[in-house]
Structure 1
Amino acid sequence: MPSPSRIRDRAAGAIMGAFIGDALGLGPHWYYDLAELRRDYGDWIDGYTDPRPGRYHDGLKAGQLSQAGIILELLLSSLVECNGYQEADFCRRMDEQLFPLLDGTPFKGPGGYTSQSIRDAWRKRVQQGRPWGKTGGHADTTEAIERTLAIAVRYALQPARLADAVAANTVLTQVDNTLVSMTVAFGAVTGLLVQGHSLDTGLSDKLMGLVKSGELPFHSVTGKRLQPPRPGEPEPSPAGRFASPDALLTPSYMAAAAADPGIRIEPAWKVSLVYGMPCAIYHQLPAAYYLAARFHNDFEAAVLHAVNGGGQNQARAILTGTLAGAQTGLAGIPQRFIEGLEHADELLRLAHRLATQL
């Protein structure tokens, strides 16, 4: 395992990578017509941009955060001040600092746009008076990942606590079991990258090892390398919370595709066309894993190809920025991305404080 200072650098890199990805996507967010995207922003987006009038996030400025980044900062602040995940504290912050600014419609609230899962939670919590824990909906998007990545970084060295806390926070807004399993899997991947492991063809074997040891709550009856179980061999007991470990296998398949000379996605931003431009988690994760594996030592290339692919490029860039930043560390993130980020000093302070708590 790398030195403690290197782990802290990777942890801070993952957090700042997420904020950078969010801000990079602010201007060119949700262009599904790539010709329109190129007309408005040129052939290659290489930094922070203002949203165009009448588009998503209209009125915000280059380098600012969307609501996804704002909620990530809320959870990050809670983690830092509580020295770990305290659900009641995070929920209090949502009640006091976010929900009073919303009205249940998409274009109301900080960050210029409120996603479906947060609108659903607002309606259940504010209009219907439900307690937290009864506020989750069925959005199949990545909003939970976009905030729980901070939990994954905080518990990068404690996989079992990581899985429990990520799952608990996810179901506050999204309750589909498959989505929760994919969100926990992303967190587990992030944790291993912060530890110093590589996003390569061997990473999924390491994740499956954590399943076999009982540290990750996925159900599996196959052997370490997916060999069939021996006749008469009992199933694991207790059974894992999630019916299948397949979400843990995706990262290494994407890494294999990125490394295979017979599989070329050129230019790499076209990963959005291969895996899909929409918002759903099953479009977003393969693309983010692919880009982070292909550009494992080049943060700039990873996040810019994520943004230039159009569609739900903001989520793609947040996820890719997390994984890329966890691999390069904060030291590997170009300074211009830090300098152009609004309130960068405060975000860096929080990232460093979280990193020291590992």
Structure 2
Amino acid sequence: MDIKDRAQGAIVGAFIGDAIALGPHWYYDLDEQHKDYGEFITTYTNPKKGRYHEFEKAGNQSQAGYILKLMIKSLIENRGYNQEDFCKKLDEELFTKIDGIPTHGPGGYTSQSIREVYRQRVEQKLSWDEVGSRADTTEAIERTLALAVKYAKSPKKLAQTISHNTFLTQVDDIVGSMSVAYGAVLAQLIQGEKLDKDISIKLMKLVKEGKLPFHAVTSDNFKPPKPGAKDPSNIGLFASPDALLSPSYMAQAAKDKDIKIEPAWKVSLVYGMPCAIYHILPASYYLAARFDNDFESAILQALNGGGQNQARSILTGALVGAQVGLKNIPERFIEGLNEKDEILDLTKKLSDIIE
């Protein structure tokens, strides 16, 4: 595999994760999910009447996929991140199609942060510099993962663009740090690194080199600061490096023979089924490390865990897609996408401009 194949795997994996969870999205009662879809879902499904995406069809993208496409188109057209252009796309191609009501808009449902920013931009007439929400979800990651692909080899640019884009809609520093950390992990996988116990050591090396804006006081390999050091700390945009340290622990748990989560979809019960970023990321890291060479198992286990399974599937799909590459994603998942041709075209064009 080369970097382009892994990059394409990441993007297509995210789109697959989005579409495959469209039907059984947000079932917090697993008995109800099993009643509607059976004990284990294996493919794209139609949403049931009265559910979040009830007017969509199996294989469609949700609004998360729609916004991800806007991001990729902006990156391709500008050959890089242009915040003014991306904001213009949201104003003209998204906000003209929603009305602030959760169940309206492309994909059948509009998320919290987007609803709040819509009201600020359209109803309150605020500038983009004045908007933002306190939503503690993964909504920013679901679009900025494209920035992680574009800047897979440029960690400083990756951190800068992801943080700037995240803060357009979510202004919580913890959400910002965890979103940048996910992008940094994804970029490492696109470069061919493994999601294992050493991933955080590699990320912290980038912190020490001033390429990732996280605070750090330890010396190499998390040893105490060296005695007599004039200023051992690295003061970054984000106060704590913990978002960079978490992936290693999830990877260790996934490979530890004494830690058993069976079936694997019950990771959603271990780390939590709700939408908050601190529930979704640990489960996604765990599944992506456990099924690092098995896209089908990873995406289906993420899907069947219930709750916010769409975000879990998007994030897991990107991480595992980056590890296996596009050529090793089972064809049936790609063929099931109703926007397959457009997605593959955008994916290829984005992989051609990686820096």
Tell me, yes or no, whether TM beats 0.5. yes
1:356 — aligned with what? 352
- Contact 2:208–2:234 under 8 Å retained in 1: no
Query: What is the alpha-carbon distance in structure 2 between the residues aligned to residue 236 and residue 8 of structure 1?
Result: 38
Q: Is structure 2 residue 257 aligned with structure 1 residue 246?
A: no
2:14 — aligned with what? 18
Q: Which of these residues, 255, 266, 269, is aligned with residue 270 of structure 1?
A: 266
- Contact 1:133–1:171 under 8 Å retained in 2: no
Q: Which of these residues, 282, 285, 290, is aligned with residue 286 of structure 1?
A: 282
Q: Which of these residues, 98, 103, 116, is aligned with residue 102 of structure 1?
A: 98
Q: Is structure 2 residue 129 aligned with structure 1 residue 130?
A: no
Query: What is the alpha-carbon distance in structure 2 between the residues aligned to residue 210 and residue 30 of structure 1?
Result: 37
Question: Once the 2 structures are TM-superposed, how far is the Cα of residue 231 of structure 1 from its aligned partner?
Answer: 2.8
Where structure 1 has 5 or more consecutive residues not aligned to the other structure, the ranges are none
Query: What is the alpha-carbon distance in structure 2 between the residues aligned to residue 208 and residue 108 of structure 1?
Result: 42
1:185 — aligned with what? 181
Query: What is the alpha-carbon distance in structure 1 between the residues aligned to residue 343 and residue 231 of structure 2?
Result: 46
Q: Is structure 2 residue 228 aligned with structure 1 residue 232?
A: yes
Question: Once the 2 structures are TM-superposed, how far is the Cα of residue 260 of structure 1 from its aligned partner?
Answer: 0.4
- Contact 2:64–2:142 under 8 Å retained in 1: yes
Q: Which of these residues, 327, 334, 345, is aligned with residue 331 of structure 1?
A: 327
1:313 — aligned with what? 309
Q: Is structure 2 residue 213 aligned with structure 1 residue 210?
A: no
State the one-letter code of the partner of 2:220.
Answer: K
Question: Once the 2 structures are TM-superposed, how far is the Cα of residue 236 of structure 1 from its aligned partner?
Answer: 5.1
Question: Once the 2 structures are TM-superposed, how far is the Cα of residue 86 of structure 1 from its aligned partner?
Answer: 0.4
Query: What is the alpha-carbon distance in structure 2 between the residues aligned to residue 317 and residue 246 of structure 1?
Result: 23
State the one-letter code of the partner of 2:271.
Answer: Y
**CA root-mean-square deviation:** 0.9
1:344 — aligned with what? 340
Q: Which of these residues, 66, 69, 72, is aligned with residue 70 of structure 1?
A: 66
Query: What is the alpha-carbon distance in structure 2 between the residues aligned to residue 332 and residue 294 of structure 1?
Result: 17
Query: What is the alpha-carbon distance in structure 2 between the residues aligned to residue 125 and residue 231 of structure 1?
Result: 52
2:29 — aligned with what? 33
State the one-letter code of the partner of 1:12.
Answer: Q
State the one-letter code of the partner of 2:197.
Answer: T
Where structure 2 has 5 or more consecutive residues not aligned to the other structure, the ranges are none
Question: SS of the counterpart of 1:52?
Answer: coil
State the one-letter code of the partner of 2:12.
Answer: M
Query: What is the alpha-carbon distance in structure 2 between the residues aligned to residue 235 and residue 203 of structure 1?
Result: 26
Q: Is structure 2 residue 86 aligned with structure 1 residue 90?
A: yes
Question: SS of the counterpart of 2:26?
Answer: coil
Q: Is structure 2 residue 249 aligned with structure 1 residue 258?
A: no
The alignment of Structure 1 onto Structure 2 pairs a total of residues equal to: 354
1:112 — aligned with what? 108
Closer/same/farther in 2, CA of residues 237 and 276 from structure 1, 3 Å limit: closer
Q: Is structure 2 residue 20 aligned with structure 1 residue 42?
A: no
Query: What is the alpha-carbon distance in structure 1 between the residues aligned to residue 339 and residue 105 of structure 2?
Result: 19
Using the size of structure 1 for normalisation, the TM-score is 0.98
State the one-letter code of the partner of 1:16.
Answer: V
2:151 — aligned with what? 155
Q: Is structure 2 residue 220 aligned with structure 1 residue 221?
A: no
- Contact 2:247–2:285 under 8 Å retained in 1: yes
Question: SS of the counterpart of 2:169?
Answer: coil
- Contact 1:12–1:351 under 8 Å retained in 2: yes
Question: Once the 2 structures are TM-superposed, how far is the Cα of residue 233 of structure 1 from its aligned partner?
Answer: 1.6
1:99-119 deviation line (CA, Å, top 9, x unaligned): 011111101111100000000
- Contact 1:30–1:310 under 8 Å retained in 2: yes
Query: What is the alpha-carbon distance in structure 2 between the residues aligned to residue 228 and residue 303 of structure 1?
Result: 39
Question: Once the 2 structures are TM-superposed, how far is the Cα of residue 268 of structure 1 from its aligned partner?
Answer: 0.2
Using the size of structure 2 for normalisation, the TM-score is 0.98
Question: SS of the counterpart of 2:220?
Answer: coil
Q: Percent identity?
A: 62
Q: Which of these residues, 294, 298, 301, is aligned with residue 297 of structure 2?
A: 301
- Contact 1:7–1:194 under 8 Å retained in 2: yes
